[in-house]
Amino acid sequence: MKLDGLNMALGAHSPGNMIDVKWDAVVYVDERATEDQKNALLTIYSGQAGGHPARLASHIGNMLGVKSVEIDYQAEGRKRSLKIGDVGQTEIEGIYGQGDAEVTVTNHKLCVAPGFSAVAAKSTKTTYKDESLSLNVTDRNGLYSPFMYSAEA
C-alpha cells in the first residue's frame, strides 16, 4: 500500500527533559488517508512496526487522542511551514552559518531522521492549542531534515 504524500503530525508536551520524562501527546493523521492507509500510518508511528518510530513512541506516556485533520506541509529553500487543521501552525527558517551554509546538528538523541543531519532553524511563528496542550511562541529554535522510511518488500 502506498503512503506517499500523506502527512502525520505529533503534538507533544514534555514536563521536563524530553529524554527523562514521559510525554502527553496527540497524533494527527492526514484526512486524505483511506482507513487502511490511516491504520498503516498509525501502526508505523505508534512503534508497532519497529524501527526508529518505536524509539520515539517509547517516550509517550499519555496518548490524548488520534485525529484525522487537514495537514499542510510546505518546504521551500530554507523555509518550512506546517498547518494542522485549526489547532496549530508553525513556520521556521534555517539559520545561516559560515559561508551561508546550513548549520547542522548530528547524532542528537531524539533525531527524527536517522542518518540525516538536522538543520538548525528559528521559528517565526508557532501556535498550537488542542486537548490539554497549548503554546504560542516565536523566535525559538527548530530543526528540520530530509527523511525517508521504507519497508522491505
Q: How confident is the model at residue 153 (pLDDT cuts 50, 70, 90)?
A: very low
pLDDT digits (tens, 9 = 90+) for 17-75: 888 999 999 999 999 999 999 999 999 989 898 888 888 899 999 999 999 999 999 99
Return the ∠ at Cα 27 (arms to 81 and 113), rounded to 5°.
60
Average pLDDT, the chain: 88
* Residue carrying the nine cell digits 517516550: 59
CA–CA gap between residue 109 and residue 148 (Å, rounded): 18
Q: By the 8 A CB rule, do 29 and 8 touch?
A: yes
pLDDT above 60 (res 148): yes
CA–CA gap between residue 4 and residue 121 (Å, rounded): 26
Q: By the 8 A CB rule, do 89 and 80 touch?
A: no
| Residue 111 CA: distances (Å) to CA of 74, 116, 131, 146 | 20, 9, 26, 11
